[in-house]
């Protein structure tokens, strides 16, 4: 075959390939077509909202194929693309734009009164929790005159404003009081407590386990008696952080507690009392916890216990960022093969930990909780009494 014929054949092959490619492209490409649907009037969404494409579509001549979640973690305009089948059952690409805004007012953790003793060296604007879902440094101030060195009742207003202009205020009375000197006489009030056996009788089912959580405050525990009394599990404090930025301290009873609990066939979980103010700090704490527990058979989750809310204002965290701190702790432990959970009281879970998607260890000291979200474990009292422990202990119900 001469060179001219080779060139002609090659050219024909190239042309055929180009034609086939163009036919394939025009048949499989997804055309942008915004005429097949109408959008809702309001395309504004609150930051951190869990929204999807369908939430903004009013009517559609066909069916949405990919109802994807829309990214709402940053303020501003977000371009949204999605695929839908039109009335001819052909794939089309739809596009629209949403506006992400911070629509929530700051949180002021304050009732209608607040009390301090005469001469207390406190900064009320720092001590009273003032936080925002998005802004890590909202403006928080108290208006009105008061004197912490003079007893009296002061009518004040705590005001907060975030960087998006959302405002909140709480009217409250500041009570500055003189501490009373208590002399002699003792008390005639009866000491109340919660009997562990009564909790077993009222809450034990095929779907529950009844147990306790312990730390150094319970002293030396006789776990054989605890087991005999009906306890099925124990959540043990491995340690705590010594304040914001402080060192990690092993609970002095941890090794004894975990060894004796396992020896007596109790299921074991762990908690760490944290002051973490960053994801990096929380990750370091989780790594420290792993080192302490790696040689033990941990059958229940490891909890993140953060309760330092009187220091929160100085941490420069938004509420969403605090939830990310906890998530850093969880993910580090989960990557190591452990299950995790978040510890919190009912009110804090609702207001502070609202972005949490992890399992929950609920603290709510009541006969019947009205917490309306999912939880895997319920700490129902702190005045429990059980054989094997000299003093009070928290009692918990774990739901299988």
Where a domain ends, among 75, 101, 127? 101
Query: What residues are paired with 95 via a beta bridge?
Result: 81
| pLDDT tens, position by position, 204-226 | 999 999 999 999 999 999 999 99
For 9, the token pair is: 């054949």
With respect to residue 18, please indicate whether it lies within any of the assigned structural domains: no
Per DSSP, helices labelled H in 29-168 are 124-127
Q: Are residues 75 and 128 in the same domain?
A: no
pLDDT of 190 reads 76
Q: Are residues 142 and 282 in the same domain?
A: no
d(CA 195, CA 231): 12
Helix (H) or strand (E) holding 189: none
Q: Return the C-alpha torsion angle 293, 297, 299, 304, nearest 10.
A: 0
For 97, the token pair is: 């734009």
Q: Are residues 92 and 235 in the same domain?
A: no
d(CA 361, CA 355): 15
10 Å CB burial of residue 185 (0-12, 13-18, 19+) is: exposed
CATH number, position 273: 3.20.20.80
CA 394 → CA 39, 274, 298, 306, distances in Å?
53, 19, 20, 17
d(CA 359, CA 367): 22
Of residues 394 and 15, more confidence is placed in: 394
pLDDT of 32 reads 86
- Determine how many CB atoms are found less than 10 A away from the CB of residue 379: 23
CA 65 → CA 84, 94, 95, 156, distances in Å?
5, 11, 13, 55
- Written as one string, the DSSP assignment of 306-349 is E--GGGGGGG---HHHHHHHHHHHHHHHHHTT--EEEEEEHHHH
| pLDDT tens, position by position, 4-42 | 665 666 666 665 565 555 444 444 457 889 999 999 999
With respect to residue 147, please indicate whether it lies within any of the assigned structural domains: yes
pLDDT of 185 reads 57
d(CA 53, CA 70): 7
Where a domain ends, among 101, 130, 154? 101
321 pLDDT more than 90: yes
d(CA 303, CA 305): 6
Mean pLDDT of 50-68: 94
Q: Are residues 325 and 353 in the same domain?
A: yes
- What's the chain's average pLDDT? 93
Q: Are residues 209 and 88 in the same domain?
A: no
With respect to residue 272, please indicate whether it lies within any of the assigned structural domains: yes
Answer positive or negative: Cα dihedral of 44, 167, 345, 259. positive
Q: Are residues 214 and 155 in the same domain?
A: no
Closest CA to 270 of 294, 234, 240: 234
Segments forming the whole domain that contains residue 61? 27-101
Per DSSP, helices labelled H in 73-195 are 124-127
pLDDT of 28 reads 47
With respect to residue 311, please indicate whether it lies within any of the assigned structural domains: yes
Looking at the structure of the chain, the number of domains it has is 3
With respect to residue 4, please indicate whether it lies within any of the assigned structural domains: no
Where a domain ends, among 50, 66, 101? 101
pLDDT of 25 reads 44
Q: Are residues 242 and 93 in the same domain?
A: no
pLDDT of 26 reads 42
Q: Are residues 201 and 338 in the same domain?
A: yes
| pLDDT tens, position by position, 327-360 | 999 999 999 999 999 999 999 999 999 999 999 9
184 pLDDT more than 80: no
| pLDDT tens, position by position, 129-181 | 999 999 999 999 999 999 999 999 999 999 999 999 999 999 999 999 998 76
Q: Are residues 76 and 146 in the same domain?
A: no
With respect to residue 187, please indicate whether it lies within any of the assigned structural domains: no
CATH number, position 164: 2.60.40.10
With respect to residue 21, please indicate whether it lies within any of the assigned structural domains: no
| pLDDT tens, position by position, 226-273 | 999 999 999 999 999 999 999 999 999 999 999 999 999 999 999 999
Closest CA to 332 of 298, 302, 362: 302
Do 90 and 35 meet the contact criterion of CB atoms below 8 Å apart? no
pLDDT of 364 reads 98
| pLDDT tens, position by position, 70-88 | 999 999 999 999 999 998 8
pTM greater than 0.85: yes
Mean pLDDT of 278-303: 98
With respect to residue 295, please indicate whether it lies within any of the assigned structural domains: yes
Q: Are residues 77 and 111 in the same domain?
A: no
- Determine how many CB atoms are found less than 10 A away from the CB of residue 287: 14
d(CA 348, CA 288): 26
Which distant-in-sequence residues (6+ apart) come within 8 Å of 66 by Cβ?
53, 82, 83
CATH number, position 87: 2.60.40
For 249, the token pair is: 């301290």
Mean pLDDT of 93-100: 97
Q: Are residues 234 and 137 in the same domain?
A: no
Q: Are residues 149 and 208 in the same domain?
A: no
Query: What residues are paired with 340 via a beta bridge?
Result: 302
Instruction: Return the DSSP state at 376.
Output: S
């Amino acid at each position: 075959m001469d060179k001219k014929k080779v060139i002609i054949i090659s050219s024909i092959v190239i042309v055929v390939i180009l034609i086939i490619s163009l036919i394939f492209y025009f048949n499989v490409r997804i055309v942008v077509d915004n005429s097949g649907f109408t959008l809702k009037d309001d395309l504004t969404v609150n930051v951190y909202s869990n929204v999807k494409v369908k939430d903004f579509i009013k009517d559609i001549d066909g069916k949405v194929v990919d109802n994807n979640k829309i990214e709402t973690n940053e303020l501003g305009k977000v371009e949204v693309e999605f695929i839908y089948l039109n009335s001819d059952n052909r794939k089309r690409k739809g596009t629209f734009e949403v506006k992400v805004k911070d629509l929530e007012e700051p949180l002021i953790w304050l009732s209608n009164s607040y009390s301090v003793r005469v001469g207390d060296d406190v900064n009320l604007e720092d001590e009273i929790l003032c936080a925002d879902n998005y802004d890590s440094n909202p403006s928080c101030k108290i208006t009105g005159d008061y004197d912490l060195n003079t007893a009296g009742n002061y009518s004040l207003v705590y005001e907060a404003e975030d960087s998006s202009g959302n405002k909140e205020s709480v009217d409250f009375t500041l009570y500055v009081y003189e501490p009373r000197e208590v002399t002699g006489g003792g008390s005639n009030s009866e000491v109340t407590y919660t009997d562990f056996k009564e909790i077993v009788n009222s809450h034990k089912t095929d779907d529950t386990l009844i147990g306790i959580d312990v730390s150094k405050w319970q002293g030396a525990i006789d776990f054989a008696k605890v087991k005999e009394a009906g306890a099925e599990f124990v959540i043990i404090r491995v340690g705590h952080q010594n304040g914001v930025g402080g060192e990690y301290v092993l609970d002095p009873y941890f090794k004894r507690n975990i060894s004796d609990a396992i020896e007596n066939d109790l299921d074991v979980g762990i908690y760490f009392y944290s002051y973490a103010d960053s994801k990096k700090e929380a990750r370091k704490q989780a790594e420290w916890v792993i080192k302490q527990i790696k040689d033990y058979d941990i059958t229940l989750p490891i909890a993140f216990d953060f309760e330092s809310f009187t220091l929160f204002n100085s941490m420069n965290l938004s509420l969403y960022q605090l939830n990310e701190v906890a998530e850093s702790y969880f993910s580090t432990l989960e990557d190591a093969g452990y299950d995790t959970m978040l510890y919190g009281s009912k009110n804090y879970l609702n207001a502070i930990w609202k972005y949490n998607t992890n399992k929950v260890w609920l603290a709510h000291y009541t006969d019947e909780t009205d917490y309306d979200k999912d939880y895997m474990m319920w700490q129902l009292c702190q005045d429990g009494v059980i054989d094997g422990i000299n003093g009070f202990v928290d009692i918990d119900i774990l739901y299988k």
